Structure 1
């Protein structure tokens, strides 16, 4: 995933939800900080949720590995 894709597909939607429920306004400085953290943590390459067993979580809807994929219904 490129930094641009991450910003468009992950950061902006999440920040819009946060702002919609009373969170702070979306600012370029916040986007820059969150993108910097994501790049430092994983270089946007390894974003699989790890479950208690230490293994990656099962793939969720759309083929992504997410925390919700591991939650019981």
Structure 2
């Protein structure tokens, strides 16, 4: 019985480690997406300053996705 319990605990520890690793990767990817979104918004503003139109729907989509990416505790 003790061996079974140790095996289950070992498997649980491995799963928890994998889960933590995946959560950290997701957070890193979310950060990269947010940085890229900001860069894209800046490039759109530069295009508009140069007289090159950017579709309003595209800008609205970027703004919506930016608001949606912020968690409940983030400004």
TM-score when normalising by structure 2: 0.31
Identify the structure with bigger relative contact order (alpha carbons < 8 Å, sequence gap 6+): 2
User: Greater CA radius of gyration, 1 or 2?
Assistant: 2
